[in-house]
Structure 1
Amino acid sequence: MIKKLLVSALAAVCAMMIGFNPVSAYSEIGSICVSLKTGVEGTSINGVEFELIQVGNVVDGLYEYTEDFLSEKSDLNKIEKANEMEELAIRLDQVANEKKIIGTSDKTDNNGKLIFDDLEVGIYLLKVSDYAKYEYIEPTLISIPTYNEESQNSTNFDVVVIPKHTPFKVSVSKQDITTQKELEGAELQVTDKDGNIVDKWVSGKEPHMIQNLFCGQTYTITETIAPDGYKIAQSINFTVDETGEVQRVIMYDELLPTSGGLKTGDDSNISVITIIAILSGLSVITGLYIYSRKRKYE
């Protein structure tokens, strides 16, 4: 909904501004209220740090980039599709990171809310600077004011943003090191840095997806029981990246070494070995006896 309103605002801002006195329109201040929704089990909406950076302002009724973002070539006034807005937000976020541009920061409260106020008319980049124990949120662009589609010719200077969020996902694949195919029957677990078990499962025909992980945290995958005929693999450490894409971790198992020797419980072979051992012993005794008698008569 927010993205839809934002696209509408960018497309209609020129016409919208014409109906206002430039002085009174630009003298308005606004606010952005961020409201987080509960994520998957184990996540928290409290303490998530957001950063707000102004990337565009209004000059003669048109949006223009602020000085720090003049390297971006796309026209803010010609963006019409949501995917274009998403791609632009990612590019501007990269510029902000490369230039180490610092905006205004604040953290969500126990209810998952925070407010940036006293904002001038313009376009702002909203990004997460510390996910704490929450899920992935893409950087997004927000305009002050926004255009209200439900009420024609209505603008809103106090914007409520409900960010779209997705769990940090890690796919764990247990494979045979030779065939590189999924290996069933392995018992696995994931622990955090304190040794707490985050997830455990038995490998199947498809990779296992873990969703209750936190950005920047390091976890350990341990195989507790290997499938029949396989060695237990060494544990693997991985760190959750700041990305909305699924991370993939592969743990390989090797077959236990096979021996060409005797198998336990083969009575016939054991009997043969016993006879050979007895005969060998008799040969040694006989040899010693002959040797001792020879020494006696010399």
Structure 2
Amino acid sequence: MIREEGVIQKYDTQGRDMTATIENEPFMGKFDLLKTHGGNQDNSSYFNEPEEGATFVAVLTSKMLKDTAYGDSNKDGVISTKEMRSYVAHYGIDQATEDIKDAYGSRILSKYEYSVLVTGKDGKTESSNLVYGSYTLCQTGTADPNYEMIENTSSFAVTAGTKDKVTAHYYANNNLTDFFLKIVKKDADTGKTVTLNSASFKVTRIADYDGKAVNVPVVYTTANRTYDTFKTVSINDQTGEYEALGVYFDKDDDQGAASLPLTLQAGTYRIEEVDTPASFTSIAPQTVVLSAKLIAADPEFVDKDNVAGDTTHQTAPTPVVTYEVKNARAYGKLNIQKLIAEQTPDLDLTPKDLSGVEFELRATQDIINPDDGTVLTAKGELAKNIYGNEIGAFHVNADGSYTVDKLALGTYELKEVAVPDGLTINGTPYEFVIQQDTDDMAKVAYEYDQDIIDKPTVVEFSKVKATDSSELPGATLQLFGEGEQIAEWVSTDRPYVIKGLKAGASYTLRETITPKDENGEDLGYARASEVVFTVSEDGSIDQVSMVDKFVTLTKEDENGKEVPGALITVTDKDGNTVDNWTSTTKAHKIKNLEVGQTYTITETSAPDGYYYAASTTFTVKDDGIDQAEKLIDNVIHYQIAKVDDNGNYVKGVTLKLTDTTADTEVTLPNNGITTDEPFELDGKLIAGHKYLLEESEYVAGVYKATSVEF
């Protein structure tokens, strides 16, 4: 088990403590400090006495920032002298030598995260070993109550060296009058030093040590030139070509820095940026106070009289005050609004929540980091913000809006890559450039608005007549997708429009009820077969037509003449009657048919004078064309005559023909009296009936014939 940080507690099988401590020695470094108090001034030189017994404390800054109770109490991200002294006093740091813990035993500070320094007779002191990191240093005590304490803090970093090696020097004094000023250009957003392009500054003293207003430009004069502008060294600007314009440029200075080559007296100075690096916004003049009481970095300590071992007086080293000028970076803000093309449908299935719409924003050329010239976003990569975080893939909000903020300046392409069901992808690549307006360097955000319209899927459903392709009202239709019913409607005299079906998906259109008239009577259309279709993915309007056709039947004789009076029945493959009617002189539209099915037509009663037609089958073709069927009835042809044994016609005999089925007498030509020709009875007999032919009167000398039944 872990007992505390760095200690693993372990027991053997007999319960004996076998705890082992694992120590990884961190990288460490030290710093030293010289403390003096004010002495006498002699023209431009002044001397200070070393101060013994001055107490200073250095603490790892991050630890104090996290402690908002006793450290960064105002939560402004900066440790003031008051806050640090409160932190030191609360935890008793100035009296500690080991790890500092709270009342519960939890560690507050490691002994390598703070150092207490007390100056000796020579005013010098050296810190204990400190782990790498950023520290805050302030004075917490003095041995002589007549000496003022320094009321400012100093921030520094332990960044190099090894254990027990001094890596930095600091100087503390109560009465400094001269300073070196080093201006460092910083990115306010990333905190990095701007080294790609140079910045230029003018410096003016606007108040003296006592606060009295003055207006004295800082000018550096050599034997040949006068400089009133100071330029930082950068990757793209490492030459002295600006000297002729009065711009001081030290190519040996640190990248991103402009160190003024002359000392400045204590007072208040205005730093005015006159040339801002590309991609950064201009900044208002800054004010820096060079205080007479401070702790500052010092490259070395020098004996005032160069006598080795002399600690009675120290030459006051001229401290370097570093002032960071922080500029916000110009950036782009891409405002996207996703819209759906207007369409007035009968049924709208388009999504109301557009958060399923996804975009990709990619650089069309390398995007350069203006801090140091590195490639922030390579050509073709997803876009990044000014902090280097990838922001190029995103979904819009439910209302279709989205803002890509803090976008690094450059050239981009925006493409839609995914949409929710019901919409089609807008394949248009939207290219745009976000660039800085050099005439308005104060502008921070460059906004680019882009409306992107998506076409919904649109399908127009038409129920049409096979006869003339006009819209056919009155049919009940259903739409199915993935086995589920999506919609049902009754056709009208215009197409039915559905918006928002899934692009690329297949659907089935079914007719459940064929058209009927206003009284609910079937109009005789055959029920159409299912229509399967796929919704287009390119945003074009799909048109789906379902054709209803007629199948008509005409009852004709062998001469093509309509034969009324026949009783006709149509049955399906299972023998079920789907329609029956009595023929007229017009074609009949067969009802209750379905495309693709086979049916049987049967004449159940033939008109008088006609034979029964033979039953016939037909299949309703799936061709969208009206279909005509025929049923032919043949006329019953019959002759009656009276003949002798030689086959000669016998005239004058009266014949009588009786329909024994109907018990009626059939009217014969010439009142039934035979002639030298047979009686023609075409169309006068009824199929299926029985008849009796007999002689009612006969001619003398001719035998009376026996009655004939047929």
Q: TM-score range by the shorter chain?
A: 0.5 to 0.7
Q: CA deviation at 1:169?
A: 1.1
Secondary structure of residue in 1 paired with 2:500: strand
Amino acid at match of 1:225: I
Equivalent-residue separation in structure 2 for 1:118 and 1:260 (angstroms):
84
Q: Which residue in the other structure is 2:512 paired with?
A: 224
Higher RCO, 1 or 2 (CA under 8 Å, sep at least 6)? 1
- Structure with bigger helix share is 1
Could you list the per-position Cα deviations for residues 231-275 of structure 1 after superposition, in whole angstroms to 9, with x for gaps in the alignment? Answer: 111111222222232122222222124242735246995677785
Change (3 A) 1:193 1:125: farther
Equivalent-residue separation in structure 1 for 2:424 and 2:362 (angstroms):
22
**Aligned residue runs from structure 1 range 108-147, under 5 A:** 108-114=396-402, 116=404, 119-136=407-424, 138=426, 139-145=428-434
Which of 189, 197, 215 in structure 1 is aligned with 2:478? 189
Structure 1 unaligned runs (5+)? Answer: 1-19, 60-65, 69-102, 283-298
Which of 503, 522, 530 in structure 2 is aligned with 1:215? 503
Equivalent-residue separation in structure 1 for 2:468 and 2:331 (angstroms):
63
- Structure with bigger strand share is 2
Q: CA deviation at 1:142?
A: 4.8
**Aligned residue runs from structure 1 range 40-79, under 5 A:** 41-42=348-349, 43-54=351-362, 56-57=364-365
Change (3 A) 1:110 1:164: closer
Contact 1:146 1:156 (8 Å CA) reproduced: no
Change (3 A) 1:147 1:277: farther
Amino acid at match of 1:238: F
Could you list the per-position Cα deviations for residues 131-170 of structure 1 after superposition, in whole angstroms to 9, with x for gaps in the alignment? Answer: 213534633515243899xx9x978545454432443211
Contact 2:335 2:447 (8 Å CA) reproduced: yes
Change (3 A) 1:186 1:114: same
Task: State the identity %.
Answer: 21
Amino acid at match of 1:276: A
Equivalent-residue separation in structure 2 for 1:106 and 1:32 (angstroms):
12
Could you list the per-position Cα deviations for residues 102-136 of structure 1 after superposition, in whole angstroms to 9, with x for gaps in the alignment? Answer: x9543345454555456443444433322213534
Amino acid at match of 1:212: G
Amino acid at match of 2:423: E
Secondary structure of residue in 2 paired with 1:185: coil
Amino acid at match of 2:421: K
Contact 1:54 1:122 (8 Å CA) reproduced: no
Could you list the per-position Cα deviations for residues 198-234 of structure 1 after superposition, in whole angstroms to 9, with x for gaps in the alignment? Answer: 3523131x33322232323322211222232321111
Which of 530, 537, 540 in structure 2 is aligned with 1:242? 537
Structure 2 unaligned runs (5+)? Answer: 1-275, 282-328, 368-377, 381-390, 516-522, 557-565, 569-580, 585-604, 613-660, 662-685, 693-710
Equivalent-residue separation in structure 2 for 1:146 and 1:190 (angstroms):
52
TM-score, normalisation: structure 2: 0.26
How big is the alpha-carbon RMSD for the aligned residues of Structure 1 and Structure 2? 4.4
Could you list the per-position Cα deviations for residues 44-90 of structure 1 after superposition, in whole angstroms to 9, with x for gaps in the alignment? Answer: 3244242324364499xxxxxx977xxxxxxxxxxxxxxxxxxxxxx
Equivalent-residue separation in structure 1 for 2:487 and 2:410 (angstroms):
43
Equivalent-residue separation in structure 2 for 1:251 and 1:47 (angstroms):
36
Change (3 A) 1:67 1:105: closer
Secondary structure of residue in 1 paired with 2:687: helix
Indicate the larger mover: 125-134 or 242-251: 125-134
Amino acid at match of 2:688: A
Equivalent-residue separation in structure 2 for 1:199 and 1:162 (angstroms):
35
Change (3 A) 1:226 1:106: same
Secondary structure of residue in 2 paired with 1:173: strand
Equivalent-residue separation in structure 1 for 2:503 and 2:688 (angstroms):
65
Contact 1:217 1:239 (8 Å CA) reproduced: yes
Change (3 A) 1:146 1:256: farther
Q: Which residue in the other structure is 1:279 paired with?
A: 690
